[in-house]
Amino acid sequence: MKKIAIIMGLITALTIPSLVLAIETAPRISDREIIERLTRLEEGQNTLRAEIRANTEAINQLREDMKQLREDMNRLRDDTSKQIGQLREDTSKQINQLREDMNAQFNRMVAIFTTLVIAIIGFAFWDRRTMIRPFETKVRKIEDEIAENRGTIHSLIDSLRALSKSDEKVAQVLKRFNLL
């Protein structure tokens, strides 16, 4: 252990001077070189300041442009909304007008149909009346003749009934016509 401590001590003693010797000394800069470098640094700073100012102005201009663009977009949005509203209103008016036109056309069609149906029924009634009238006249004539000849017809039927008592063929004919 003593040996290890001694070896460590020797290694430390040998490396410390090399560390001290590892530092390089800076070369001497003259005052003139310092002034030139400072001048260049100031020029660089002035250039940077000018660029920063230009960038700041450009950023401000961009902000102004963005603000103007927002205003334009808002105006455009408002105009578009107004136009869409107007289109909706116009479309609604046109739809309502079409509805009214269709209802009017439907009412006209119903009126025409009703008129035609009434005319056809009236014609049919008139036609039936004119066609039936001659038959009614004939039927009335026949009824009048029957009424006039009723007594004669009853006498004829009574005589046929009396004849049927003696003639079988006459009885069958009267039975067939339900007169017996």
- Altogether, the residues listed in the chain come to a count of 180
User: H helices of the chain, where?
Assistant: 2-21, 31-164, 168-176
For residue range 46-86, what is the model confidence (pLDDT) as tens digits? 999 999 999 999 999 999 999 999 999 999 999 999 999 99
| pLDDT score for 32 | 87
Instruction: Find, among 25, 43, 27, the residue nearest to 35 by Cα.
Output: 43
Whether 151 is covered by a domain: the verdict is yes
pLDDT average, residue stretch 120-131 = 85
Whether 167 is covered by a domain: the verdict is yes
Q: Name the domain count of the chain.
A: 1
Whether 15 is covered by a domain: the verdict is no
Whether 115 is covered by a domain: the verdict is yes
DSSP symbol at 1? -
Whether 98 is covered by a domain: the verdict is yes
CA distance to 19, 110, 154, 157, 179, per residue, from 172 (Å): 168, 64, 19, 14, 10
Structural domain including 65 reads 42-176
Q: Which amino acid is at 116?
A: L
Whether 159 is covered by a domain: the verdict is yes
pTM comes to 0.39
The first and second tokens of residue 68, run together, are 């103007």
Whether 18 is covered by a domain: the verdict is no
Mean pLDDT of the chain: 86
Whether 71 is covered by a domain: the verdict is yes
Q: Report d(CA 49, CA 43) in Å as an integer.
A: 10
